[in-house]
Structure 1
Amino acid sequence: MPAPSILFVCLGNICRSPLAEGIYRHLTEAASEKPVIASAGIGGWHVGNPPDRRSIKVAAAKGIDLAHQRARQVRRDDFVDFDLVVAMDNSNLARLETMMPAEATARLHLFADLAFGTRQDVPDPYYGDLEDFEAVYSMLFSGCSAVVAKFE
């Protein structure tokens, strides 16, 4: 069974979801069938911008290049185009639930619930420092590893 297509979603698509996209892509590089992987934001404030420089820096230190990614906003079609739409926190999940059209085929998940079976939010590091981004990277790496293992 091929791995499901997955859209990672956070508030602005510059911190958490681009990290999750990059990590998941990195972890599935060796897969014979590459899953479709993307990220998006609930809001459109950063559309077209690269990820936050701190996300880029933390990922680059681990050999993951995020610099080519550009922020985009969640679209109605995402709920049909992807198998899984994965929210970084409960607030994002609640917004996605209100945005989800009747014809949606995607399954909505909270990241930590899908990865670890918990209702924990992935904290938004935007107003923090590099250590906060490193902590989020670690959480996302562990979680993405768990998700990849589920579909192997």
Structure 2
Amino acid sequence: MSLEVGKPAPDFEAKDQDGNLIKLSDFKGKKVVLYFYPKDNTPGCTTQACNLRDNYEALQKAGYVILGISSDSEKSHKKFIEKQSLPFPLIADEDLKVHEAYGTWVEKSMYGRQYMGTARTTFIIDEAGMLSEIIQKVNTKDHTNQILK
């Protein structure tokens, strides 16, 4: 991964579940949790999203804006948000531009089969748009504590 703590977070533009254009630069002055996850409505991703949902108030109190992002479509994100009552936007990165900018579209392997997929990674971005932390070993059940520690 070429991104480093203390360096600027790559700016991006992509649509959320409602088709609204989200730009990282719109959040200057706020702390952002940008979390990349593999797929809507899968066990680990649901656990992670629900952990953030259940602790959303604490994250907001700490000054964080939460943005989830995967290669799923806006429609898939909308269903996931409705099913899990998620209070934060999910960004659709179907063309993988944001994944590529953050180095999260990687070769993976399952049962000896190689394939491309999302590396579950969370980027904490400070008020100035700089990377303040990169969490590569995400604990889906306790992700909020990894962020707030």
Common fold, TM-score beyond 0.5?
Answer: no
Of structures 1 and 2, the one scoring higher in RCO (CA 8 A, sep 6+) is 2
Q: Compute the TM-score of the two structures, normalised by the length of structure 2.
A: 0.40
